[in-house]
C-alpha cells in the first residue's frame, strides 16, 4: 500500500514538474509619440497643402524612430532618431530656433 502511494505521489510530482516548451522571446510592444509644438494651429487657418506637409513631417519623424525600435535599437536611440528630422524641418522650430520670449530673446532647452 505504501509503495502504491509512493508511485502515485511520484507521478503527480513528476507531472507537475513537466517542462513546458519555451515559446521564445515575446515580440515587444512599443509606442512612439511625437509632439509638433506647443502653439495652436487650427485646421481652418491652414491650407490642405500645409496640413499635408505637417502630417508628412510628423510621419517621417515617427518612422525614423520606429525603424530603430523595429531593428532592436534602444528607446534612447529611437527618441533621438525621431527628433532629428523635426529639428531639421523648417515647419518646426525645435533645435534651431525658438519663438521670442517676452524679453525679446530666444531660449532653447533640450534633453532626452
**Among 108, 69, 68, CA closest to 92:** 108
Mean pLDDT of 97-109: 76
Nearest-angstrom CA–CA distance, 30 and 32:
7
> Is pLDDT of 107 > 80?
no
Task: Write down the pLDDT at residue 41.
Answer: 80
Reported as a pLDDT band with limits 50, 70 and 90, residue 98 is low
Question: What backbone torsions phi and psi does residue 69 show, to the nearest 5 degrees?
Answer: -65, -40
Q: How many helices (H) and strands (E) does the chain have?
A: 3, 0
- How remote is the C-alpha of 71 from its chain's centroid? 13
Taking only the tens place, the pLDDT of each residue in 31-44 is 999 888 777 788 88
Pick the most confident of 19-23, 42-46, 72-76, 83-87: 72-76
pTM: 0.65
Mean pLDDT of 39-62: 90
All structural domains of the chain with their residue ranges: 42-93
Amino acid at each position: 500500500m505504501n509503495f502504491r502511494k509512493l508511485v502515485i505521489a511520484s507521478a503527480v510530482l513528476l507531472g507537475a514538474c513537466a517542462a513546458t516548451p519555451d515559446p521564445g522571446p515575446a515580440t515587444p510592444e512599443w509606442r512612439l509619440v511625437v509632439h509638433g509644438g506647443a502653439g495652436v494651429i487650427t485646421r481652418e487657418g491652414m491650407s490642405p497643402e500645409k496640413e499635408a506637409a505637417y502630417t508628412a513631417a510628423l510621419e517621417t519623424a515617427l518612422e525614423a524612430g520606429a525603424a530603430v525600435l523595429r531593428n532592436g535599437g534602444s528607446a534612447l536611440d529611437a527618441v533621438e532618431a525621431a527628433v532629428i528630422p523635426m529639428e531639421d524641418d523648417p515647419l518646426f522650430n525645435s533645435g534651431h530656433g525658438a519663438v521670442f520670449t517676452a524679453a525679446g530673446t530666444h531660449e532653447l532647452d533640450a534633453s532626452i
